[in-house]
């Protein structure tokens, strides 16, 4: 409760200034009851009763051009601190005052909509922003909030419609966002209506040719249909989009090549991939293919050179694993066994916008809510 009292100190100070100003301007307006009320609010504040203090200060402060900012600031403070119910109460009280101007009402409605969103009352927030959408001064911000609401509710078609509206109003294209929204809709129908899902994936790629996710979903659909040739074609498109994502979905590549019986193509693919890729997953797969094709000794020689040139833990582990298949002295065998038990580096992804990291690939960042900004850190 002490923290809440501290939070209200600026409001108490602003209220004191307001009454002092009223008294200086027109002593008759600063009544004894108002002054008593002000000290009553301070008393509640000092006794750590912020709820009662809020009620007193709200009742005392007339809603006019001089005090509206105090009300709005108080509401924002509470929302930022997670006290959404208090913020809602303040903003609802403002809207109920008949003396506020139309533009002020719109500003307060916007704040109330933010309160509802913070509280998870998305239907109420939606109604507010649908009203503000028709107000020119608040149209763009209202549309942005509606997009956020529809994304949270997974109403992807509505989200797409409003992103298109935002592009027209702002004059700025957001192909990455639109492509991902189309992908989200495709995911819903990839098992129920494959034709519809493919149509939305096609739209996603038309909007953003660099949309890796669209090709991944297309490959998943083809694999479900046992069409490994088409799945491989979709996966290979990623090579021209962003090769950093190839190690993330390497198993899909390998599975398709194995299902098609293309062992030679698999070897060449992995050989070329590992030349310009530092991923331990890629290297492990290539060594497996090298071992199957040319034997353990050839694979051991290859990784021996890697360790010599670049002595890293991931290379050392691969070397020890291969070395255990060869005749070894007891002490060397013990060391190789110990090395293979070293912890692997954990694959992770980082958002370019806010720096949020996760071991899972989030197409929409859980922190900043931006689409398609996650990049593989290590695999």
Please list the residues that pair with 348 across neighbouring strands: 378
> Is 1 strand, coil or helix?
coil
CA–CA gap between residue 187 and residue 366 (Å, rounded): 19
- Neighbouring residues of 65: CB distance < 8 A, sequence distance ≥ 6: none
Q: Is residue 73 part of a domain?
A: yes
**Structure-token pair, residue 311:** 């002595």
Q: Is residue 186 part of a domain?
A: yes
How many residues in the chain?
A: 379
- Quick one: 19 and 81 in the same domain? yes
pLDDT at 334 (0 to 100): 66
Q: Is residue 169 part of a domain?
A: no
Which of 236, 258, 280 finishes a domain?
A: 258
Q: Is residue 70 part of a domain?
A: yes
Kindly state the helix (H) or strand (E) to which residue 241 belongs, with its residue range.
Answer: none
Which of 120, 153, 186 finishes a domain?
A: 153
Q: Residue 358 half-sphere exposure, CB side, CA atoms within 13 Å?
A: 15
Q: Is residue 304 part of a domain?
A: yes
Give the distance between the most distant pair of CA atoms in the chain.
103
pLDDT at 50 (0 to 100): 61
- Quick one: 12 and 148 in the same domain? yes
Closest of 37, 78, 81, 79 to residue 61, by C-alpha: 37
CATH number of the domain where residue 222 is located: 1.25.40.10
Average pLDDT of every residue of the chain: 82
**Range of 30-34, 87-91, 96-100, 232-236 with top mean pLDDT:** 232-236
Task: Assess whether pLDDT exceeds 60 at residue 263.
Answer: yes
Please list the residues that pair with 378 across neighbouring strands: 348
What is the average per-residue pLDDT within 123-130? Answer: 97
Which of 232, 258, 284 finishes a domain?
A: 258
Tell me the helices (H) and strands (E) count for the chain, helix number first. Answer: 19, 3
Least confident of 183-192, 322-331, 354-363: 322-331
Q: Is residue 164 part of a domain?
A: no
Q: Is residue 160 part of a domain?
A: no
- Quick one: 357 and 330 in the same domain? no
**Range of 4-13, 56-65, 75-84, 111-120 with top mean pLDDT:** 111-120
- Quick one: 337 and 354 in the same domain? no
Range of the domain at 239: 174-258
pLDDT at 310 (0 to 100): 74
- Quick one: 146 and 228 in the same domain? no
pLDDT at 21 (0 to 100): 46
- Quick one: 15 and 101 in the same domain? yes
> Is 376 strand, coil or helix?
strand
Q: Are 116 and 125 in contact (CB under 8 A)?
A: yes
Q: Is residue 234 part of a domain?
A: yes
- Quick one: 273 and 335 in the same domain? yes
- Quick one: 288 and 323 in the same domain? yes
What digits encode the pLDDT tens for the residues 355-371? 999 989 999 999 999 99
- Quick one: 212 and 266 in the same domain? no
Please list the residues that pair with 376 across neighbouring strands: 349
- Quick one: 191 and 50 in the same domain? no
Compute the Cα dihedral for 321, 257, 208, 186 and give only its sign: negative
- Quick one: 46 and 126 in the same domain? yes
- Quick one: 319 and 351 in the same domain? no
CA–CA gap between residue 299 and residue 101 (Å, rounded): 78
How many structural domains are present in the chain? 4
Q: Residue 360 half-sphere exposure, CB side, CA atoms within 13 Å?
A: 5
Q: Where does the pLDDT of residue 121 fall: very low under 50, low under 70, confident under 90, or very high at 90 and above?
A: very high
Q: What are the φ and ψ backbone dihedral angles of 104, each rounded to 5 degrees?
A: -65, -40
CA–CA gap between residue 160 and residue 147 (Å, rounded): 8
């Amino acid at each position: 409760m002490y923290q809440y009292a501290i939070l209200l100190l600026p409001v108490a100070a602003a209220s004191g200034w307001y009454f002092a100003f009223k008294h200086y301007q027109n002593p008759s307006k600063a009544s004894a009851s108002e002054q008593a009320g002000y000290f009553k609010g301070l008393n509640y504040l000092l006794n750590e009763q912020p709820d009662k203090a809020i009620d007193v200060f709200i009742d005392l402060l007339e809603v006019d051009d001089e005090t509206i900012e105090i009300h709005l600031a108080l509401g924002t403070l509470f929302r930022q601190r997670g006290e959404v119910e208090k913020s809602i109460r303040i903003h609802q009280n403002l809207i109920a005052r008949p003396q506020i101007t139309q533009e002020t009402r719109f500003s307060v409605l916007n704040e109330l909509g933010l309160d509802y969103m913070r509280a998870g009352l998305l239907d109420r927030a939606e109604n507010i922003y649908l009203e503000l959408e028709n107000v020119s001064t608040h149209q763009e911000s209202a549309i942005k909030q509606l997009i956020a609401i529809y994304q949270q509710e997974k109403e992807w078609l509505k989200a797409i419609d409003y992103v298109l509206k935002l592009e027209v109003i702002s004059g700025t294209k957001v192909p990455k966002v639109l492509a991902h929204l189309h992908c989200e809709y495709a995911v819903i129908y990839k098992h129920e209506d494959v034709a519809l899902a493919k149509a939305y994936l096609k739209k996603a790629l038309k909007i953003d040719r660099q949309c890796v996710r669209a090709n991944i979903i297309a490959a998943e659909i083809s694999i479900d249909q046992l069409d490994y040739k088409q799945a491989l074609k979709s996966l290979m498109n990623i090579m021209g989009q962003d090769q950093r994502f190839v190690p993330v979905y390497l198993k899909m590549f390998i599975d398709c090549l194995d299902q098609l019986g293309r062992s030679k193509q698999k070897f060449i693919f992995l050989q070329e991939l590992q030349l310009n890729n530092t991923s331990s997953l890629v290297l492990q797969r290539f060594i497996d293919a090298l071992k199957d094709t040319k034997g353990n000794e050839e694979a051991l020689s290859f990784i021996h050179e890697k360790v010599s040139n670049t002595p890293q833990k991931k290379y050392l582990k691969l070397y020890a694993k291969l070395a255990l298949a060869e005749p070894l002295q007891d002490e060397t065998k013990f060391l190789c066994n110990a090395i293979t038990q070293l912890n692997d580096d954990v694959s992770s992804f980082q958002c370019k916008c806010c720096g949020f990291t996760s071991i899972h690939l989030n197409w929409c960042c859980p922190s900043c809510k931006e689409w398609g900004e996650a990049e593989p850190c290590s695999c």
